């Protein structure tokens, strides 16, 4: 079994990779209490699919992607494919099976540059930033491009430039929840905890409660505060901050639904319970993870965590 410190480092790195693009558990409770359904999105090949701003993946060569998402309420399905105009449409609770998204071809230079930037963002930040700037040059009123530019600049270690891009995004779209979430990460990276918390909470308000990136940011922030308190012997502060971290991360995992990013947050919550010497709660979280992600590359490791924790609990 990996040490807690090694697991902590790996999981926090994975969670930060996610947010560059999220009431506590109990043995009888479930983080994802809402009913789920599996649907297939049918669009163009290699199209990016989001539900409520959460990225679920890319369609295969046949243009299809199977996803798992909550059944209650109305959600927003968004699809982006190279050479086509981005499309958003409602995803209702009654839709099952295959959901068709018909895209229209485009020759708009701003849209094409933005698509190029989105494709490059995970591989080459410099090229992505250049493409986002081309999109902005072609269309001055393009808040999504400014947001994307802010993300890649932050990832490239340029927080001041990122702040300028995010400010432009917010000017063009007041109440832009995603931009506020990334702004929170900028402040957090600069060590300004108060401003980071304010930006993350503003993001959640702007998103009407739904903003997994901001919830994840707050969860990681309070996790760091808990570890800092524990390191100085402030065990009451450690416990209180771990409780806050768990609360925000649990909300994030609910909002991430069945998306791949939820798997990292599950493991972070389990790790927090382990650090608090709450093996029963950690086991419950890990078992919940295995129910939703039985074929995950992390599944074998998580099973080993459960085995070790049960050994530790034995008389």
Q: Sign of the CA dihedral 238, 257, 46, 165?
A: negative
Angle at CA of residue 254, ends 4 and 306, nearest 5°: 35
pLDDT at site 3: 60
Task: Please determine, for residue 30, whether its predicted confidence score (pLDDT) is greater than 50.
Answer: no
pLDDT of 57 reads 87
Token pair listed for 277: 């010497």
* pLDDT recorded at residue 182: 96
Burial class (CB in 10 A: 0-12, 13-18, 19+), 272: buried
Res 37 pLDDT > 90? no
Greater pLDDT, 98 or 34: 98
Q: pLDDT value at position 1?
A: 53
Q: Which pair of structure tokens corresponds to residue 192?
A: 């300004």
* pLDDT score at 192: 96
pTM flag (> 0.95): no
Residue 129 token pair: 């930033």
Ramachandran assignment for 218, one of left (phi > 0), alpha (psi -120 to 50 degrees), beta (any other): alpha
Residue 70: is its pLDDT beyond 70? no
**Predicted confidence (pLDDT) at residue 29 exceeds the cutoff of 60:** no
Residue with structure tokens 């679920």? 56
Beta carbons of 79 and 48 less than 8 angstroms apart: yes
pLDDT single digits (tens) 242-266: 999 999 999 998 888 777 788 899 9
The strand pair at 36-42 and 97-100 is best described as: parallel
> DSSP 3-state assignment of 115?
helix
Where do runs of H (alpha helix) occur along 121-192?
Answer: 125-138, 143-155, 159-172, 177-189
Determine contact, residues 279/264, Cβ cutoff 8 Å. Answer: no
- Kind and range of the H or E run holding 95: none
**What's the confidence (pLDDT) of residue 294?**
87
Q: What is the pLDDT of residues 120-174, one digit of tens each?
A: 888 899 999 999 999 999 999 999 999 999 999 999 999 999 999 999 999 999 9
- Look at residue 254 in the predicted model and tell me its pLDDT: 85
**Residues 204-240: tens digit of each pLDDT:** 999 888 899 999 999 999 999 999 999 999 999 999 9
Q: What is the largest distance, in Å, between two alpha-carbon atoms of the chain?
A: 69
Percentage of the chain lying above the pLDDT 70 cut? 87
Q: Residue 72 has what pLDDT?
A: 64
pLDDT mean across residues, the chain: 87
**Where does the pLDDT of residue 282 fall: very low under 50, low under 70, confident under 90, or very high at 90 and above?**
very high
- 295-300: average pLDDT: 91
User: Over 80: is that where the pLDDT of 94 sits?
Assistant: no
53: Cα separation from own chain's centroid: 9
Integer Cα distance of 216 and 281 in angstroms: 20
Say whether pLDDT at 17 is over 60.
no
**In which region does residue 250 sit, left (phi positive, over 0), alpha (psi from -120 to 50) or beta (all else)?**
alpha
Helix H or strand E encompassing 3: none
Q: In this predicted structure, what is the pLDDT of residue 26?
A: 34
CB atoms within 10 A of CB 193: 13
- Alpha-carbon distance of 49 to 91, in angstroms, equals 12
- Three-state secondary structure call for residue 277: coil
Q: How far is CA 2 from the centre of its chain?
A: 24
């Amino acid at each position: 079994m990996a040490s807690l410190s090694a697991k902590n480092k790996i999981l926090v790195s994975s969670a930060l990779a996610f947010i560059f693009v999220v009431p506590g558990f109990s043995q009888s409770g479930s983080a994802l209490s809402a009913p789920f359904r599996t649907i297939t999105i049918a669009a163009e090949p290699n199209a990016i699919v989001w539900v409520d701003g959460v990225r679920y993946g890319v369609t295969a060569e046949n243009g299809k992607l199977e996803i798992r998402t909550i059944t209650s309420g109305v959600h927003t399905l968004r699809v982006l494919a190279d050479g086509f105009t981005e499309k958003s449409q409602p995803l209702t609770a009654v839709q099952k099976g295959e959901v068709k998204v018909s895209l229209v071809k485009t020759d708009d230079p701003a849209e094409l540059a933005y698509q190029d930037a989105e494709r490059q963002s995970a591989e080459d930040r410099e090229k992505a930033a250049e493409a986002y700037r081309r999109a902005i040059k072609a269309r001055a009123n393009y808040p999504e491009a400014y947001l994307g530019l802010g993300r890649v600049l932050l990832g490239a270690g340029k927080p001041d430039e990122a702040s300028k891009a995010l400010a432009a995004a917010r000017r063009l779209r007041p109440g832009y929840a995603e931009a506020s979430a990334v702004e929170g990460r900028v402040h957090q990276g600069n060590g300004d905890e108060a401003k980071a918390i304010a930006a993350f909470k503003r993001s959640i308000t702007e998103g009407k409660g739904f903003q997994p990136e901001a919830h994840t940011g707050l969860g990681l922030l309070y996790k760091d505060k808990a570890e800092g308190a524990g390191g100085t012997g402030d065990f009451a502060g450690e416990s209180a901050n771990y409780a806050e971290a768990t609360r925000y991360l649990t909300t994030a995992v609910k909002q991430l639904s069945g998306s791949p990013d939820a798997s990292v947050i599950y493991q972070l919550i389990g790790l927090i319970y382990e650090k608090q010497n709450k093996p029963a709660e950690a086991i419950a979280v890990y078992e919940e993870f295995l129910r939703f992600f039985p074929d995950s590359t992390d599944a074998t490791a998580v099973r080993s965590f459960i085995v070790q924790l049960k050994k530790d609990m034995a008389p």
